[in-house]
Amino acid sequence: MPSAGRLLATGKGVSTGRGKAGKAGDVRVKVTLTKAEQAFLRKHPSRKLREKINLRFTPRKGAKLTTSVTVLIA
C-alpha cells in the first residue's frame, strides 16, 4: 500500500476482506469462497474457479484508489 489507510477486497463468490496499515507497505487480506462456490468445488474436484477480486484503498488523506485482480482457485 502506498500510505496509511484501509484496504477492502470484494468480489462475486467471495467474502469481503478488510485490512489496514499504519504506514506504507504490504497488507494481507483474507477472503474466503461463499458456501455455494465451496460446494461447487466439492462436487467437481477437478474444476477450477476464476474469481475477480475488486480492491479499494482508502488512504487517511487523499483520493481513493481502485483496481482488480483475477485469481485462479483450485
pLDDT digits (tens, 9 = 90+) for 18-69: 999 888 888 899 999 999 999 999 999 999 999 999 999 999 988 999 999 9
Query: Domain total for the chain?
Result: 1
As a whole number of angstroms, the distance between CA 45 and CA 6 comes to 35
Hey, which residues does 5 pair with through a beta bridge?
21, 59
Question: What range defines the domain where residue 28 resides?
Answer: 5-73
- Residue 1 pLDDT > 80, yes or no? no
Which uninterrupted H or E stretch holds 52?
strand 49-59
pLDDT at 25: 87
* pTM of structure: 0.81
